[in-house]
Amino acid sequence: MDPVEEWSAARQRVCALVANIDDASAAARVPATPDWSVHDLLAHMIGLDADVLAGDEPDDHNAGWTQRQVDERRDRSVAELVAEWTELAPRLEQWMRDNNPRPLGDAIIHEQDLRGALGVPGAQDTAGLQAIRDRMVGRFADGVAGALTLQGERWSWRSDADGAPTVVTASDFDLARALMARRSADQLRSWTTAGDIGPYLKAFATLGALPDADLHE
């Protein structure tokens, strides 16, 4: 898996996804990031990459930093945002090769957030998504104290703890999104086929609180 190629592919998919959306779609709220519209989330994705290139990236990716990216691009059209991203893409690809592939996570996670908002599923089994799933399961594991198994169609994970396990059975894609804090507690409960998921819900909040409403892409 080449993370730079996966980032480039995700960027191109997102650009194609938003290329012909109308104003109403651009203004639609994104269920996974409910404070932002489709336009806002796209502005954040591009603004984050611009800030990485500028050397302006706080460790905590705090809300003030991400909101500034949105606010600075509020008056730009979707086409102008895409043009900005296209211009900076070669430089960010080189930055990733020279430094690290961290920006891949933002692109992969938010691509699916945008797909959920626009009702256009896709890219659910890419090498990039699998790589970010594996990155996030490491963070998730730090919060798991007990016997837990995540059982997908081809992918699975289990903690090292002894005892009767709690088992969550879902599609590989849903489990990946759950590890990105993109599935609700009710969804996780509905996929629990053994034990009690309750004590583990906090561990799924890897990128903030779990959504109140069910999410689908």
Domains of the chain: 3-118 (no CATH), 127-204 (3.30.1050)
Residue 49 C-alpha from the chain's centroid: 15
Give the closest residue to 28 by CA, choosing from 20, 18, 38, 16.
38
pLDDT one digit per residue (tens) for the chain, 217 residues: 999 999 999 999 999 999 999 999 999 999 999 999 999 999 999 999 999 999 988 887 889 999 999 999 999 999 999 999 999 999 999 999 999 999 999 999 999 999 999 999 999 999 999 999 999 999 999 999 999 999 999 999 999 899 889 999 999 999 999 999 999 999 999 999 999 999 999 999 999 999 999 999 9
DSSP 8-state class, residue 121 = -
Which residues are CB-neighbours of 194 under 8 A, at least 6 positions away?
Answer: 164, 165, 166, 167
Q: Given this model, what pLDDT does residue 58 score?
A: 83
Q: Given this model, what pLDDT does residue 89 score?
A: 98
The single residue listed with the structure tokens 């996670």 is 109
Q: How far apart are CA 108 and CA 112, in angstroms?
A: 7
Q: How far apart are CA 97 and CA 149, in angstroms?
A: 35
CB atoms within 10 A of CB 119: 10
Q: Given this model, what pLDDT does residue 59 score?
A: 81
DSSP 8-state class, residue 193 = E
Q: Given this model, what pLDDT does residue 97 score?
A: 98
